[in-house]
Amino acid sequence: MQQYLDIFQQLASPYFRQDRPVSEPINAEQLKKIVDFSLGSKGTDLAALKQAASHYLNYQPDSAQVDFFKLLYSGRNNPALLGDWVTSLSNANMHTYQMSPVATLMEQELITQWNRLVGFTTDTQTGDGVMVSGGSQANLIAMMMARHKACPELKTKGFSNQTLVAYVSDQAHYSALKAASVLGIGTDNLIAVASDNQGRLCPAALKDAIELSVKQGHKPFYIGLTAGTTVLGAFDPVPECAAIADLYDLWVHIDGAWGAPILFSQQYKYLLEGCELADSFAWDAHKLMNVPITAAVILTRHQGMLEQTCGGGGGDYLFHSDENSAHNLGQKSIQCGRRADALKVWLSWKAIGHNGFSDKVDQLQVIKQGCVEAIESSPTLHMIGPAPYLNVLFQFRPSANLSEDQLRVLNIAICKAMQVQGGAFVDYAKYQGKTGIRLILANSDTQASDIDRLLSHCIKTGESLVNAS
């Protein structure tokens, strides 16, 4: 064992350097020539394993670097990292208290705190929840609970001729389509409702879509709202949509995978006004809370609904009746084998505290605002849509004579060139027919100077590409 610990320390030490390039881009065919990916009948020595692990780290984009702006996660949370190491060492399963006593009680405390933040736990009600692999699984379970509420007989008897219809924004995460497919709802019966010029679902369009479904003889059952859309970071209007849901007795789910931590902030939690009116809520700790992947939760204000929807089977060979059986979490989960992700989240929350997460959200909002102001004052950079949260979508536009297709090609080329140069790792996205550079702010180490350097790099790279064409 000591040999492996020594190797890990040797590999990890240089990985924590702040001067590491954010990425070392390499195509698949080149990588195949460097790394021996073959598996054979005979084992290999420790030196070969060390080399393979070293290759993995060398060519893995480093999401902890301040120049990593590509995805909805970045930065490093050291208490959570410690928890991740310990979790892997213990190799625990979360299906029963007996197999994970400490992690079970940690998860229950986390569920309590998350429910209080969302508003599902009050003086008159106690919310429920279970940790899951990510937002996609949380959204799937939410739609499962909505389906069970609308048609509980489907759990035992299967589908009848009834057509169930679900509604999400046209800016919703693609996992909603997956959920509709997996659950037998059908992707054709997931209605993409129009969003407004702020990227938010339009309540009037939602009501019209529901009324049309009713006229067609279909059964509406689910509304999926987004708190922090992938492209703009928009927050759908919860109170208005919840009022519509009440008219038709529909389940309301909020996909807060990205935007939920706004609830830590007294200054910005207004963006999720009315979230307590929802029936379920998804939250990814492995996004803005910087906990190592995977760590997420599905919450609901309906006690018992998770077990009604996901429970069944297992029998007495898994779930024994004893003094701790009330703490068995397996019957709430669609998984049997489930990693003890609670430890890393709990350690992180214990170390940082509510106020620490609040400070991070507030600080990043200040950095975001400075970024937007710098773009708006630039003669060649232009915002595409608003930036209510920590997403900034902008375009390098050197000339008014360029068509949108030309700008699309140019801005995609800027993103790719910056990655190759190793100076920044950003992505591109499309909104309302315009393709621009998408900047995600999730790393609490980010400073205004990092943003200035990035924008300067974008401009210089864009000018270089234009001059070379």
Shared-domain flag, residues 41 and 188: no
pLDDT of residue 313: 66
Q: Which residues of 150-174 are buried (b: 16+ CB within 10 A; e: fewer)?
A: bbeebeeeeeeeebbbbbbbebbbe
- Same-domain check for residues 306 and 184: yes
pLDDT at 325: 73
* CB atoms inside a 10 Å sphere around CB 210: 22
Has residue 68 been placed in a domain? Answer: no
- The full DSSP string for 31-94 is HHHHS-----SS---HHHHHHHHHHHHHHS--TTSTTB-SSS--S--HHHHHHHHHHHHHT---
Average pLDDT, consecutive stretches of 10 residues, N- to C-terminus, the chain (469 residues): 94 86 92 96 95 95 93 94 96 92 97 98 92 98 98 89 95 98 97 97 98 98 98 98 98 98 98 98 97 97 96 71 79 92 98 98 98 98 97 96 97 95 90 97 96 96 94
Q: 45 and 180, same structural domain?
A: no
Residue 317 is predicted with a pLDDT of 67
126 vs 217: CA distance, rounded Å: 36
Assigned domain for 313 exists:
yes
Residue-level pLDDT at 63: 93
Residue 46 and residue 102 in one domain: no
Q: How many domains does the chain have?
A: 3
Same domain, 153 and 266: yes
Strands of 219-226's sheet, edge to edge?
A: 128-132, 296-300, 280-284, 251-255, 219-226, 164-169, 190-193
- Cα–Cα distance measured from residue 95 to residue 332, given in angstroms and rounded to the nearest whole number: 9
Supply the pLDDT for residue 308. Answer: 95
Q: Are residues 250 and 385 in the same domain?
A: no
372 within a domain of the structure (yes/no): no
Q: Which of 55, 38, 46 is nearest to 5 (CA)?
A: 46
At 70, phi and psi to the nearest 5? Answer: -80, -45
Instruction: Tell me, yes or no, whether 305 and 168 share the same domain.
Output: yes
Which residue is listed with tokens 């997931």?
A: 190
Q: State whether 52 and 90 are in the same domain.
A: no
Establish how many alpha carbons lie within 13 A of residue 294's alpha carbon, considering only the half-sphere containing its beta carbon: 13
Strand runs labelled E in 173-269: 190-193, 219-226, 251-255
pLDDT value of residue 378 = 98
Give the domain CATH number at 344. Answer: 3.40.640.10
CA distance 83 to 383: 39
Q: In what order do the strands lie in the sheet with 427-431?
A: 381-383, 391-396, 434-440, 427-431
Residue 360 lies in a domain: no
Whether 361 maps to a domain, the answer reads no
- Residues 229, 121: Cα–Cα separation, whole Å: 25
Query: What domain range is 263 assigned to?
Result: 86-349
Which helix (H) or strand (E) is 155 found in, with range? Answer: helix 154-157
Contact 68, 451 (CB under 8 A): no
Cα separation, 112 vs 126, whole angstroms: 8
Residues 302 and 415 in one domain: no
The CATH number covering residue 450 comes to 3.90.1150.170
Contact 399, 392 (CB under 8 A): no
Please check whether residues 399 and 286 belong to one and the same domain: no
Q: Please say whether the beta carbons of 247 and 213 come within 8 A.
A: no
Two structure tokens written together for 46: 């420790």
Rounded to the nearest 10 degrees, the angle between the axes of helix 342-376 and helix 78-90 is 150
Same domain for 311 and 409, yes or no, is no
